[in-house]
Amino acid sequence: MDLRFGVSVMKSREMLFRLKQFQVQEKRRKLAQIEMMIGEFARMAAELDREIALEEQRAGISDTTHFAYPTYARAARARRDNLLRSSEELRGQLEEAKADLDGATDELSKMVSLDGREKGEPADRPAMIEMNLRTARA
């Protein structure tokens, strides 16, 4: 076998490994971003709930069908409802992002395990790396 070919294959594997690592990290970032947005939307909706309650208390009207129901409270309700709907949509995206991360982590884990076997590393090393990948997923 040509030595240059072996070096080329090794570099290709290294590049593929780095790509897989990058994909896992990117999927983790996306997951964290979605979780942060859900939390922010929940915080904003809770703040709007407080503002709605204060406005209703100030006006003395909590019946949304009443002709004198405060306009600000009506608008705040609409914004809160939009935030809650968006939050639910994000929860769907969160589940997809978790599945994507699981898939990318599994691919990386398989690659690490296969590479370890080919290099003749101890049998438990790929298992330890896989365990680290799985705990990082949580």
pLDDT digits (tens, 9 = 90+) for 9-48: 567 878 888 898 999 999 999 999 999 999 999 999 999 9
List domains and CATH numbers for the chain. 3-137 (1.10.287)
Length of the chain in residues, anyone?
138
Q: Which residues of 54-79 are buried (b: 16+ CB within 10 A; e: fewer)?
A: ebbeeeeeeeeeeeebbeebeebbee
Which of 129, 119, 108, 132 is closest to 19 using CA atoms? 108
Neighbour count for residue 1 (Cβ, 10 Å): 6
pLDDT in tens, 98-112: 999 999 999 888 887
- Determine the pLDDT at residue 57: 97
Which of 106, 112, 107 is closest to 128 using CA atoms? 112
- Determine the pLDDT at residue 12: 81
Which of 5, 27, 16 is closest to 101 using CA atoms? 27
